[in-house]
Amino acid sequence: MSTAERKACAESLEKMGQMATCSHWPASPYARQWGGEAQTAQYRALQAAIVVCMAPKALLDHANPQVVLDPETVAALCKQFGIDAAGWRAALQQVAEAELRAFAWRILPVQNLVAAGLIDRPQNDDYAIGLIALPRALNRSTMDEKFDRDPGLYQAVLRLFDVEGTSEHNLSAVDKYNYSPKNYWSYIFMEGVARGEFTRPQLLDKTLGTLEREWPQFRAGWFSRFHETLAPTADEMAPFAPRYLGLCQSRIPPTVTMALGALKTLHVAGHVDGASLLGAVQPVFYASAKSQVDAALKLAEAAVKREPALAQDASAVALHGLAHEAADLQKKLIERLKAWGMNDAARAELEAHVQSVATVNRPALLSLIGNVGPAASVEIPVAEQPPVGHGPLDPLDTSRMLVPIGDVTELVDCIAFVLENPKDIDALERVLEALVRMAPLPQPLLKQFAPVMKRALKLIDREVQNRLARLLAFVGGGKRPQGHSEKSQKPKAEEFLASRVEDLIDQAAQGWGLAPLASATHARGFIDAAVFIERIAVYQARGVQAPSGEQVRGLLRLAPAGDRSAALRNQARQLADAPLARALRHALGEDGVPITAKGDEEQALFAAAARIRHPGGDDPLVLDALGDFGPDGANAARYAWSVDARSSTYAGKTYVHHHLTLSAAEVPASTPHVLMAVRRAGVDDTHDEALLRYMAAVVPSSLESFFVDGCRQVGNNLDWWEARWQDHAYLTLLLDPTVPLTAVQPMAVLLLALALAGKEPGQTALAVDALVQSFIDGRLEVPALGAQLRALLSTPIVMAKRYAKSLQAAVRADGRLAAPVFDMLCEMLAADVENPPKNLTALMELLLEIALSSQRTLPAPTLEVLARLSLGGKGRAVQKSLLGLRAGAPA
């Protein structure tokens, strides 16, 4: 063949390569086309043809771990067919490195070429990152096979201690998500030691070197765990003693924990002197982790025991641990300081800790300083605090009004803002209203939309921006894009916004110049009923009718009428008779309105009216007239929760998982689809926080079904098994001043109770903020929250120590929370008297601290519960102190 004829074979060779690769999978159609599995000789023939007929990259695409041409064969082929062998190899090298730079998963074919000797081993970080990913790229083989084919790979992988990797490809992530223990990097390195490829001191040196770089905690954590796997002896660690001392200053907590453990071993073996030890652990006494401060204190004790002359030096170092909030740790520190003695400088430093230590420890600290006698009591001044609020803010407060967009220039600016900030649902509402009201736009103004339209088209993979782009494209260009979501009995999360945008496009096409009926007038989706009535009157005067979906949405968004109910009913009676007008009058509380349902749309209108007339309750009039069509129709949805135990077995071990289940009555299959706008619970899950915020604005006056989903998502992810940042949408809503947290809306209270027991710091901080703010606003019903906390604490799904931490944070944030937290703690102690929850002592310690600092006595029922609790160790001591508060006696 001529060169041109050989190049013409490329397409068929590419298809042949796909067929050969897929021939190993019986279910693949290529297996039948090939006639069985491709054989070794066939792979060699195929690869030889690729070398001669195709670009070097094709060999990379069809490199097979079992069959790769050797360099001599490739050289012979190049010579026979007049190909520049050196240039061909250089091109293959360049392609391989470029592929790795673009996509780390390409390491598998690249490594096959390296092992075959067809390319040189790359020396850059891209190759190292590819090697990190290699164990997960393997299908049924193990890394042992790769090392057997490429003995030089062992020394190459030592570079993994020097390359941090990426968020996806790092040693921690690969080992965490690997399917085969033999492909864990920790196993691979230990196997290398067994094979004599590495030495233990070599790996220990590399491990410490990586930890000294202070990579992010998730990535650095692999190396501190590998140190545990190595389990070096004191003699092995001795040459590295100065480095262990230095690692105590690391900002990565697992690294510090590892260093403290190593120093304990080194000190016992005599490889570290006491003075060096005290100097190294000083920064650890500032740590937020109680276990680390405790470990540092034990090291200081060991140093003083061996070298008593260091006692006052140990005091000067350890006193900084009093900044930790744990009362029992503070007590232990004060006892050690008293035993070791202090100089004048140390005593002066102690005075700075008087106000920060727990009240129960303050007398002992003052005694240590020398200001008062050991048995003296401490008067705790109660700071003046402003009073709490009187309840939820009126949704129609003037501060929450949404001002309509006035002109095209402002509209373009607002669209640009929403495209970058889709979670701002109030801004989205203003944009949707303005686009429909201003349609059709005059031709001279359309040029102003070009920049935001261009930006919107780049964001169409995000649901909110995608739907806004659809409406923008229609208003700006008159064309309705394809791709409207199909409706389903259980709609997906995005369907709430998708169906509304389609209705808005229908209205914009009419060019009425009217605001959509369901456009919010106030923040969080609320509509002033007076404005809603005015809109209907204008529509009727123009002889036009809004889409049925907008009619239902508008009713669902009505704000509570309050004292204006009678006036609003009189205003609504002036409307021409129509199903929407009748449903509105019923929603506003008028009796005797004919309730009919001649079709799905009319039934949906009265269902929406029932939800507004009786938020959280049943509507007997609609129920009698139309029957029961499921929860949140004529009847309000009522939810129940339970915790179920689920077991699974893996690798011979049985694991028990606890799952929070929330249930309500089933929705009948005959329910009109438009009624799905009333309901949120049961809708398919979403990872889009902006969509969640939008769905909270569907029925802004009744959020129970929305909070049910929040409870389900947050409650089954308390240990942060999965990063679900979108769940912030549920918790952020608890901060809204219009949202009550009372027994009438138990799911909101349950969500707060669950989130206070979360593991992820950011999510828990939101819950603490919600607790503080809702109490200050007067929106929180403390007994309702206490009851939920008690009920949850009687199940294994929450941890008492997390509640103690969250409640303590709330009290520290605002002293006014001391009283409600005290009441809730008293309630929580009774969660399970016969079988007390684990770490109940943490809650008891907080209760003791609040009781002493606020000079409150425990109520008689709480004292009875305390007396019945069977506790041991530290719990018994705290129990005794609490019982000592009987009748106001000092603890």
What would the pLDDT profile of 208-256 be if each residue is shown by its tens digit? Answer: 999 999 999 999 999 999 999 999 999 999 999 999 999 999 999 999 9
Give the per-residue pLDDT at 65. Answer: 64
Establish how many alpha carbons lie within 13 A of residue 546's alpha carbon, considering only the half-sphere containing its beta carbon. Answer: 31
Q: What is the mean pLDDT of residues 143-164?
A: 93
Q: Is the pLDDT of residue 386 over 80?
A: no
pTM of the model: 0.78
Give the per-residue pLDDT at 375. Answer: 37
Sequence length of the chain is 891
Q: Map residue 316 onto helix, strand or coil.
A: helix
The residue assigned the tokens 């009676």 is: 573
pLDDT band at 385 (very low <50, low <70, confident <90, very high): low
Give the per-residue pLDDT at 535. Answer: 97
Structure tokens at 273: 């002197």
Q: Is the pLDDT of residue 557 over 90?
A: yes
Give the per-residue pLDDT at 31. Answer: 67
Establish how many alpha carbons lie within 13 A of residue 122's alpha carbon, considering only the half-sphere containing its beta carbon. Answer: 24
Question: Nearest-CA neighbor of 537 among 514, 563, 567, 509?
Answer: 514
Residue 812 identity (one-letter amino acid): R
Burial string for 37-73 (b: 16+ CB within 10 Å, else e) reads ebeeeebbebbebbbbbbebbbbbbbbbbebbbeeeb
Q: Is the pLDDT of residue 671 over 60?
A: no
Q: Map residue 741 onto helix, strand or coil.
A: strand
Query: What DSSP line would sit under 98-137, residue for residue?
Result: HHHHH-GGGHHHHHHHHHHTSSPPP-SHHHHHHHHHHHHH
**What stretches of 215-321 show up as alpha helix (H) in DSSP?**
217-230, 234-237, 241-247, 253-268, 274-281, 290-306, 311-318
Out of 68-82, 145-159, 357-371, 795-809, least confident range: 357-371
Q: What are the φ/ψ torsions at residue 645 (nearest 5 degrees)?
A: -95, 130
Q: What is the mean pLDDT of residues 753-760?
A: 96
Establish how many alpha carbons lie within 13 A of residue 432's alpha carbon, considering only the half-sphere containing its beta carbon. Answer: 31
Q: What is the mean pLDDT of residues 94-112?
A: 91
What does the alpha-carbon distance between residue 522 and residue 401 come to, in Å, rounded to a whole number? 4
Q: pLDDT per residue over 299-312, tens digit each?
A: 999 999 999 999 99
Give the per-residue pLDDT at 489. Answer: 46
Give the per-residue pLDDT at 380. Answer: 42
Give the per-residue pLDDT at 667. Answer: 46
Structure tokens at 486: 């199909």
756 touches 806 (CB < 8 A): yes
More confident residue, 477 or 57: 57
- Is-cis flag, bond preceding 440, omega within 30? yes
714 touches 690 (CB < 8 A): no
Distance of CA 452 to the CA centre of its chain: 31
What does the alpha-carbon distance between residue 631 and residue 705 come to, in Å, rounded to a whole number? 10
610 touches 584 (CB < 8 A): no
Q: Map residue 642 onto helix, strand or coil.
A: strand
Give the per-residue pLDDT at 545. Answer: 94
393 touches 383 (CB < 8 A): no
Q: pLDDT per residue over 672-686, tens digit each?
A: 444 544 444 445 567
Burial class (CB in 10 A: 0-12, 13-18, 19+), 872: exposed
Q: pLDDT per residue over 506-521, tens digit each?
A: 999 999 999 999 999 9
Residue 551 identity (one-letter amino acid): Q
176 touches 138 (CB < 8 A): no
Q: pLDDT per residue over 697-715, tens digit each?
A: 999 999 998 999 999 999 9
What does the alpha-carbon distance between residue 340 and residue 283 come to, in Å, rounded to a whole number? 20
Q: What is the mean pLDDT of residues 445-467?
A: 84
Q: What is the mean pLDDT of residues 119-133?
A: 94
pLDDT band at 885 (very low <50, low <70, confident <90, very high): confident
Give the per-residue pLDDT at 680. Answer: 42
What does the alpha-carbon distance between residue 154 and residue 148 come to, in Å, rounded to a whole number? 10
What does the alpha-carbon distance between residue 560 and residue 270 come to, in Å, rounded to a whole number? 75
Rounded percentage of the chain residues whose pLDDT exceeds 70: 92
Q: Is the pLDDT of residue 374 over 50?
A: no
Pairing of strands 653-663, 640-650: antiparallel
DSSP 8-class letter at 831: S
Q: What are the φ/ψ torsions at residue 64 (nearest 5 degrees)?
A: -115, 130
Q: Map residue 590 onto helix, strand or coil.
A: coil
Give the per-residue pLDDT at 384. Answer: 57
Q: What is the mean pLDDT of residues 617-623?
A: 90
What does the alpha-carbon distance between residue 587 and residue 608 come to, in Å, rounded to a whole number? 8
Nearest-10 Cα torsion for 164, 170, 171, 176: 150
Residue 328 identity (one-letter amino acid): D
Arithmetic mean of pLDDT over the chain: 88
Three-state secondary structure string covering 141-173: CCHHHHHHHCCCHHHHHHHHHCCCCCCCCCHHH
Give the per-residue pLDDT at 891. Answer: 42
- Phi/psi region, residue 638 (left: phi>0; alpha: psi -120 to 50; beta: rest), is beta
Three-state secondary structure string covering 165-214: CCCCCCHHHHHHCCCCHHHCHHHHHHHHHHCCCCCHHHHHHHHHHHHHCC
Q: Is the pLDDT of residue 840 over 80?
A: yes
Query: What DSSP line would sit under 374-420, residue for residue?
Result: TT----------PPP--SPPPTT-GGGBPPPP-SHHHHHHHHHHHHH
Give the per-residue pLDDT at 362. Answer: 87
Q: Is the pLDDT of residue 666 over 70?
A: no
865 touches 847 (CB < 8 A): no
Give the per-residue pLDDT at 328. Answer: 87
Give the per-residue pLDDT at 674. Answer: 44
Q: pLDDT per residue over 857-869, tens digit each?
A: 899 999 999 999 9
